Each structure stands twice: as structure tokens, then as C-alpha cells.
Copies of this chain bind each other. A is one copy, B any other.
Amino acid sequence: MASTHLSEILNFFKALSDESRLKIVGAVASCERSVDELAELLDLRAPTVSHHLGKLKEVGLVKMRQEGTTHLYQLNSNGLRSLCRQVLAVDTMEMIGEEVASDAWERRVLTNFFDGDRLKEIPASRKKREVILKRLAGKFQTDRRYSEKEVNAILSRHHWDTATLRRELVGARLLHRQSGNYWREQN
């Protein structure tokens, strides 16, 4: 879902879509400023400014330099430039469009092959099969290991052919197996 291009661009826009944050970016564009200075400049309390600076730092729009107890913030021009360039790129929006279309397609596959939690049949097409396998993999937690019996128990809730599903899940590297134990790695 939260595809690479989309979420990266989105975070960039979210970071700059608040009046206070945009003002902060403007204020640190030409010279470095302390949190206190910024609070005075924007007529806000220090915790608020700190909060915003945290978000801006997260997306790499500002950089910080510490001097004693005061933190000097400054615009990261390179970050802004590279992010803007990426957005400006003609392809970027089209790529997002493709991601959206692909998400919609996967959703359609899921509704076609699932009836509630029940898998109507295992798709023959590899691409479609991968989609439903990904969904099934989501039924497993990432922080524990499962015995084969447990794996079968979970899969049987969705389809009778647990053996095939189990084999396919491992083949697609959505589930991993070692010495009779299965586990799912996050993402």
C-alpha cells in the first residue's frame, strides 16, 4: 500500500503543508536560528517549535548544530533541492499513478478470489496468486515462530489445500522455514 514513491513524496508535502513549519523553513533559509529565536519570531512556545523542527528534521529539510545547550537549526538546501527536483520530475506523478492502478488491480483480485475470509480457489496466474499469498501471509505475526501444525491451522481457515498454500508461501519467500519451524519476516 504505502508504496515507496508515494509515501516519500507525501511526507515531503505533509512537512511543508503547515503554516508554522513553512515559516520556520523560511526563517532558517538565510541564517541559522535557535529554538528560542524561532519561538519569538513565530509567536509560539518553544515546545511547539521543537515539535515542528522534529518533523522537518525527519524529512531532511533542516539540519541541526549544537553549541552548548542551544540547538542551532538551518535549512538543508540540498534536501529541499533534491526533493523539489523529484517532485518536478515528469515521471514521478505518472509512477504514482501506476502504483494507484496496481493497488486497485490487487484489490480487485482479492475481492474476486475471496468470499469474506474464505478463498474461493487458488488463482492459476502467478501474479494473481502472489497477491492472495501476500494477503494470507498477513495472517501471521512477525514476532514469533509457528509449527507446521499451526501454519496449517491458520491456512485452513481460508482454504482446504493447506499443503499447497504452505509450499507456495515458502516458495514466494513470504514465509520462511527452518527445521520444521515457520516464521514471517516483517515487510
Q: Are B26 and A99 in contact (CB under 8 A)?
A: yes
Stretch from A39-47, A151-159, A167-175 contacting the other chain: A39-47
Stretch from A84-92, A115-123, A133-141, A142-150 contacting the other chain: A84-92
When distances are taken between beta carbons in the complex, the residues of chain B under 8 Å from A101 are 27, 41
Q: Is A17 an interface residue (CB 8 A)?
A: yes
What number of A residues sit within 8 Å (CB to CB) of B? 40
Complex Cα–Cα for A101 and B94 (A) = 39
Stretch from A8-16, A64-72, A124-132, A177-185 contacting the other chain: A8-16
Contact string against B for A residues 20-54, beta-carbon threshold 8 Å, 1 for contact and 0 otherwise: 00110111111000000000111100000000000
Q: Is A163 an interface residue (CB 8 A)?
A: no
Complex Cα–Cα for A107 and B40 (A) = 10
Complex Cα–Cα for A16 and B14 (A) = 8
Q: Is A56 an interface residue (CB 8 A)?
A: no
Q: Are B96 and A29 in contact (CB under 8 A)?
A: yes
Q: Are B10 and A107 in contact (CB under 8 A)?
A: no
Complex Cα–Cα for A6 and B95 (A) = 29
Q: How far is the CB of A101 from chain B (nearest CB, A)?
A: 7
Q: Are B22 and A9 in contact (CB under 8 A)?
A: yes
Minimum-distance CB pairs A-B, first 3: A26-B96, A17-B17, A26-B97
Besides the known contacts A14-B17, A16-B17, 12 further A-B residue pairs in the complex with CB atoms under 8 A apart:
A6-B26, A9-B22, A13-B16, A23-B100, A26-B94, A26-B97, A27-B100, A29-B96, A42-B104, A80-B93, A84-B88, A85-B88
Q: What are some 18 contacts across the A-B interface (CB < 8 A)? A: A6-B19, A6-B22, A13-B13, A13-B17, A14-B17, A16-B17, A22-B96, A23-B100, A26-B95, A27-B96, A27-B101, A28-B97, A29-B94, A30-B94, A41-B100, A75-B93, A84-B84, A84-B87
